[in-house]
C-alpha cells in the first residue's frame, strides 16, 4: 500500500533515492540543489519558505515526490499571483499560507511530479496532484500552485486545476557547427549587432573565460557570490542565496556548474553562473562591479551559446523575462503552470481572468515573432 507523507525537509531522504526520480538529471529538482538550499540558509520562514515536500512511499521506499513548500508570500516564484492574493484578502480571506510546487527562486521549466522509473508513472503523478488538493483542503488553505511544469506532467492535473501559461526566451541548437554558423542563420543586421557587442567585450582589456565549478576555489566562489549580491543590492532587492550555497553547488555539482567570468588581473569583476542538466544549459545569476559595453550579453548569452554548441546541447534557457533576448537569437517558448483555488466562486473569477490573460499573451507572442532575428522565419 502506498503511503503519502509530507516532509519538513530532504535531509532524511538519500540523495540517490531522490535523484532516481529526476529525469534527465534536471539540476533544479536534484537533491543537491533542493537540500542544499535548505542546509545552506537560503530557505527560511521569514523569507516565506517552509519545506513541506510531498512524498509517496511503498513501504520505506520512496516512489514519487513533488518539491513542495508552504509559502507565506509570493516572493521568488516568477509566476505572479499578487493580484489574486490582493483580491482574496480584500474579500476578507487569508491567501497565505498557500502550497507551492516549485524549485525555489528558479523560473526554470522542469519536472515537478517526480516518479521512480519502472513505477506506474501516470497513476502516481495523478496521486500526487490529488494529495496536494486533499492536503490544502485539510489545512484550510486558499490554493495550491505548481509552477514551470513540463508537458509530461500536465495530464496529471484534473479539471479542478486552472491552466496558466506564459513565455520565456530560449535558444535552440539547430545543429550549428560553431558560433559563426549560428550567426549565419540570423539576419544581416542582427548578425552585425552581435559581432559588435562581442567586439566591445573582447576589447575591454578584461580576461574572459568559462570555468567549471569543480575548478574554482573558495576564494573565487566568494568573489562570484559578492557580485551576485551586488546586483540585488543595486536593485534594492534581497539576495536570498548564500555564499555557502554557491560553494556547495560548485562542490556538489562540479562541472555541471559553469561560470562565465571576466577578470581584471586577479579579481573577478563580472560573472554569469549556469547549471547544466541533460541536454540544456540554464543561465541563472549575473553580477558585475564594472560597466563594460556588451559584457552582460557576452557572459550571459554568447558564452553560453558557444558552450552549448561545443557540447552538443539542445537548448540554452537564460531565465525569465527580457524581450532584449529576442534580438540575440532567443525565441519565445511556452511555459506552463497549474493552480488549484479552493473557493468555488474565487476559482471562477480567476478562471475568467486567465481567459483574458491568454488572449493578451497570444497577441504578445504574435507581435514578438514579427521581430524574429532569424533569416528564415
At residue 356, φ and ψ (nearest 5 deg) are -65, -40
pLDDT at 370 over 80: yes
pLDDT-derived band at 301 (thresholds 50, 70, 90) equals: very high
SS3 (DSSP) at 101: strand
- Tally of CB atoms within 10 A around 193: 17
Residues 6+ apart with CB under 8 A from 166: 79, 334, 335, 337, 361
Residue 377 is predicted with a pLDDT of 64
Which domains are seen in the chain, by residue range? 2-165+334-369 (3.40.630.30), 174-313 (3.40.630.30)
Q: Percent of the chain scored above 90 by pLDDT?
A: 91
Residue 12 is predicted with a pLDDT of 95
Q: CB–CB of 55/67 below 8 Å?
A: no
Lowest mean pLDDT among 38-52, 78-92, 177-191, 310-324: 310-324
Label residue 343 exposed, middle or buried (CB < 10 Å: 0-12, 13-18, 19+). Answer: middle
Interval 175-180 mean pLDDT: 98
- DSSP lists the bridge partners of residue 251 as none
Q: How far is CA 233 from CA 107, 108, 186, 366, in A?
A: 20, 23, 36, 36
Length of the chain as a residue count: 377
pLDDT, tens only, 305-354: 999 999 999 999 998 878 899 999 999 999 999 999 999 999 999 999 99
Residue 1 is predicted with a pLDDT of 45
For the chain, the 3-state helix, strand and coil shares in percent, each to the nearest 5, are 40, 25, 30
pLDDT at 184 over 70: yes
Half-sphere exposure of 309 (CA within 13 A, CB side): 17
C-alpha cell at 118: 519502472
Which residue blocks in 257-343 are alpha helix, DSSP H? Answer: 295-297, 303-311
Interval 37-54 mean pLDDT: 96
The angle formed by the CA atoms of residues 330, 334 and 337, to the nearest 5 degrees, is 135
Q: Percent of the chain scored above 70 by pLDDT?
A: 99
Question: For residue 81, what is the DSSP state?
Answer: -
Indicate the Cα dihedral angle 200, 206, 211, 217, nearest 10°. Answer: -150
pLDDT at 9 over 60: yes
pLDDT, tens only, 243-300: 999 999 999 999 999 999 999 988 999 999 999 999 999 999 999 999 999 999 999 9
| Rg of the chain in Å (alpha carbons) | 21
Residue 18 is predicted with a pLDDT of 98
Residue 2 is predicted with a pLDDT of 67
pLDDT at 160 over 90: yes
Q: CB–CB of 274/281 below 8 Å?
A: yes
Interval 112-136 mean pLDDT: 95
- Cα 301 to Cα 272: distance, rounded to the nearest angstrom: 9
Averaged pLDDT score across all residues of the chain: 95
C-alpha cell at 134: 486533499
Interval 366-374 mean pLDDT: 91
Lowest mean pLDDT among 31-40, 236-245, 299-308, 330-339: 236-245
Which residue blocks in the chain are alpha helix, DSSP H? Answer: 15-19, 31-39, 82-90, 121-139, 151-154, 179-184, 188-202, 218-234, 243-253, 295-297, 303-311, 344-369
Residue 369 is predicted with a pLDDT of 87
Amino acid at each position: 500500500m502506498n503511503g503519502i507523507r509530507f516532509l519538513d525537509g530532504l535531509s532524511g531522504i538519500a540523495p540517490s533515492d531522490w535523484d532516481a526520480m529526476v529525469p534527465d538529471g534536471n539540476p533544479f529538482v536534484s537533491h543537491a540543489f533542493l537540500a542544499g538550499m535548505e542546509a545552506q540558509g537560503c530557505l527560511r520562514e521569514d523569507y516565506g519558505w517552509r519545506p513541506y515536500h510531498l512524498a509517496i512511499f511503498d513501504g520505506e521506499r520512496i516512489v514519487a515526490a513533488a518539491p513542495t513548500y508552504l509559502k507565506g508570500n509570493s516572493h521568488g516564484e516568477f509566476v505572479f499571483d499578487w493580484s489574486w492574493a490582493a483580491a482574496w484578502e480584500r474579500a476578507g480571506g487569508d491567501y497565505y499560507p498557500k502550497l507551492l510546487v516549485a524549485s525555489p527562486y528558479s523560473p526554470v521549466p522542469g519536472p515537478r511530479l517526480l516518479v521512480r522509473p519502472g513505477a506506474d508513472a501516470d497513476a502516481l503523478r495523478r496521486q500526487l496532484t490529488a494529495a496536494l488538493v486533499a492536503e490544502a483542503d485539510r489545512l484550510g488553505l486558499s490554493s495550491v500552485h505548481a509552477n514551470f511544469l513540463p508537458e509530461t506532467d500536465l495530464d496529471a492535473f484534473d479539471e479542478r486545476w486552472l491552466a496558466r501559461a506564459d513565455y520565456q526566451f530560449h535558444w535552440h541548437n539547430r545543429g550549428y557547427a560553431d558560433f559563426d554558423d549560428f550567426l549565419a542563420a540570423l539576419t544581416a543586421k542582427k548578425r552585425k549587432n552581435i559581432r559588435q557587442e562581442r567586439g566591445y567585450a573582447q576589447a575591454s582589456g578584461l580576461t574572459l573565460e568559462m570555468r567549471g565549478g569543480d575548478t574554482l576555489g573558495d576564494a573565487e566562489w566568494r568573489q562570484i557570490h559578492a557580485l551576485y549580491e551586488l546586483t540585488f543590492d543595486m536593485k534594492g532587492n534581497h539576495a536570498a542565496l548564500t555564499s555557502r550555497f554557491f560553494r556547495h553547488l560548485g562542490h556538489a555539482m562540479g562541472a555541471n556548474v559553469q561560470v562565465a567570468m571576466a577578470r581584471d588581473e586577479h579579481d573577478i569583476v563580472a560573472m554569469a553562473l549556469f547549471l547544466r542538466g541533460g541536454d540544456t544549459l540554464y543561465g541563472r545569476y549575473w553580477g558585475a562591479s564594472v560597466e563594460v559595453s556588451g559584457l552582460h550579453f557576452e557572459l550571459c548569452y554568447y558564452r553560453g551559446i558557444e558552450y552549448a554548441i561545443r557540447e552538443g546541447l539542445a537548448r540554452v534557457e537564460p531565465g525569465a523575462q527580457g524581450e532584449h533576448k529576442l534580438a540575440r537569437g532567443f525565441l519565445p517558448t511556452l511555459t506552463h503552470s497549474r493552480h488549484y483555488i479552493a473557493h468555488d466562486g474565487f476559482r471562477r473569477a480567476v478562471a475568467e481572468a486567465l481567459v483574458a490573460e491568454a488572449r493578451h499573451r497570444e497577441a504578445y507572442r504574435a507581435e514578438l515573432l514579427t521581430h524574429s532575428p532569424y533569416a528564415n522565419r
